[in-house]
Chain A
Amino acid sequence: MEKGGSKGKGENPEQCFDVPRALAERGITRRDFMKFCTAMSAALALPMTLVPRIAAALESDARPSIIWLEFQSCTGDTEALLRAANPTVGEIILDVLSIDYAETIMAAAGHQAEEARAKTVKESRGKYIAIVEGAVPMKDGGIYCCIGGRSALDIVREVCGGALATITVGTCASYGGIPAAAPNPTGAVGVKEAVPGATVINLPGCPVNTDNLVATVVHFLTFGKLPAVDGKGRPLFAYGKRIHDNCERRPHFDAGQYVESWGSEAHRSGHCLYKMGCKGPETFHNCPVQRYNEKTSWPVGSGHGCAGCSEPQFWDTMTPFYRRLPNVPGFGIETTADKIGTGLAVATAAAFAAHGVVSGFRHKDDESKDGKGGNQ
């Protein structure tokens, strides 16, 4: 998106930008472009027959305006997008969008920048797309995150409230993420919670997978609407399958081969990370298939269990990351449910054994009629 600058903001980008030329300038052939369109149709689980339609949509002049907002975040999602080693077709597709406001990458600053945003919100009301990165603090009137003298809550209500649709990138914008972790001092929430009336599609992940963002945009450009979502507002094409079920280490899970310690022979042989606390069996994302950094790798592929970063409240509910089960409140930090349970079973057996010994020595039970209570 640094291309946002290269295409020359302010000099009427409608006239100086078209996809075939941009592709040619970057040395991307028509063949590569069609391969990209095919890959997108696969990512979106669309039939091959729709590839020409995707290509036509991407080459058309339809250029929705984009406002990229950033609140309580580490800029990791922007980084994920910008740090691609080579200019990919996907980045150029994002160039298809007219990014009118994005603090990290825009040339304008200060009031000039704020004006650009206000202009888009006012002039393209109901037609622009908002992309939000980072959580929105709600506590104390939202004072914990202010930009240009306005609170994040105020800005997100105005921008997302007037947008055609909002795409949240990363877990913070989707569900509050790390800023919302207990005790959540700033009252951080995701966009849908901050602006319940907005049309929001969540692309959680830490960071968002750029491929999924591009695919969501391609879906929008091709069909004029957002893709189908699951109960957590995430597109099914990217979050419809469980990590565990597409994991390259899954055969070792089923076989019964587990990593017991880091750096062990089993770990180096690529065995299953289930016992090291991998949350793959309960998390939904296309990481094993789509991977990160131009399909180089993903956490489990590089030997670390899934932390569940794409699930709501992952920081509070998926920890400890290196254990299968959470700690039991009120017990020591190393105490698992199973340790407590074993203690419980042993204590029960001991108690009844003691009862049995006492009963064994009691011979003078009352056998009179009075003794025959019960519920007859």
Chain B
Amino acid sequence: MKQNQECLHETYVWEVPVRVTHWVNVLSIATLSVTGIFIGSPVTLGLTASAYVMGWIRFIHFVAGYLFAISVVSRIYWSFVSNRYAGWREFVPFLSAEGRRNMWRMFAYYTFMSRKVPHPIGHNALAGATYLLVFLLYLVMILTGFTLYSEHAPHGPLHALLGWMFAHFSNQGIRQTHHLIMWFLIGFAIHHIYSAWLMDVKERGGVISSIFGGYKPVQGRE
């Protein structure tokens, strides 16, 4: 690494919409999880009947839900117009032989079978494939969440849009799914922070600071 330092130059990897949606997702998922756990199993915090504890917590949950949905949809849109590092192809590496090879390399490194540290500029192939799964879970969360929310107005436009969900899944099943996926996403967040930290240490590519500033030091010109 040291002898190559002079060859490093800045590459603009994460454009503004990628970074903004990333941090909006972080904020809204944290808010949605905390408020969601309270809504699912509340504790008596209201001292009098005129308090509005659950009312406000639900309000925050719904606002964060809208924020999250807008952020996720924006990010999906951006994957079709962004630079190559954030484009949709990053999330389906398993479609190409090279992508599958890269996924295997990363997997072998993570599981201590190989000592070769992959140095991708954008997402590593395994992470890209994981984010596809995570975004699918996001979409299921948005769908189940807004479906349950629509019940407050059973003849409103939201219910007209999502009422078909109730024809295919039981109401309690939709609730169960909404709870379980939250825990999957919490599990993902733990993994995500750990892996970013690990790769920041091992790659020495500044991956953590890149999601704040957008730039990564890259060897050799692309």
Contacts and interface: CB of A to CB of B under 8 A. Distances in A.
Interface of A: 230-231, 236, 240-242, 245, 251-258, 260, 266, 271, 274-275, 279, 281-282, 284, 311, 313, 316-318, 324-326, 328, 337-338, 340-342, 344-345, 348-349, 352, 355-356, 358-359, 362, 364-368, 370-376
Q: Is the interface of B mostly helix, strand, loop or mixed?
A: helix
Interface string B30-50: 000000010011111110111
Given A255-B51, A345-B190, A348-B187, A371 B117 contact: yes
Contact of A240 (B115, B151, B154): B154
Given A255-B54, A256-B42, A349-B190, A375 B183 contact: no
22 contacts: A242-B152, A242-B154, A254-B55, A256-B45, A256-B54, A257-B44, A257-B51, A260-B44, A274-B42, A275-B41, A282-B171, A282-B172, A325-B175, A338-B37, A338-B40, A338-B183, A365-B117, A372-B119, A373-B102, A373-B116, A375-B99, A376-B222
A375 B128 contact: yes
9 interchain residue pairs of minimum CB distance: A341-B183, A374-B120, A256-B53, A256-B46, A255-B46, A371-B116, A317-B170, A352-B194, A254-B55
A258 B98 CA distance: 56
B109 to A, nearest CB: 8
Given A318-B172, A375-B90, 13 more contacts: A251-B49, A255-B49, A258-B42, A317-B170, A324-B40, A324-B175, A342-B183, A356-B197, A356-B198, A365-B116, A367-B1, A374-B102, A374-B121
B163 A275 contact: no
Contacts, number: 180
A134 to B, nearest CB: 23
A333 to B, nearest CB: 15
A311 B171 CA distance: 10
Interface string B99-115: 10110011000101011
Nearest to A239: B154
Nearest to A255: B46
A271 B46 CA distance: 11
A59 B208 CA distance: 80
B93 interface: yes
A367 B117 CA distance: 7
A359 to B, nearest CB: 6
A355 to B, nearest CB: 7
A255 B119 contact: no
A366 B195 CA distance: 18
Contacts of B187: 344-345, 348
Contact of A362 (B43, B112, B176, B194): B112
Given A282-B171, A317-B172, A317-B173, A254 B183 contact: no
A368 B1 CA distance: 9
Contacts of A362: 112, 115
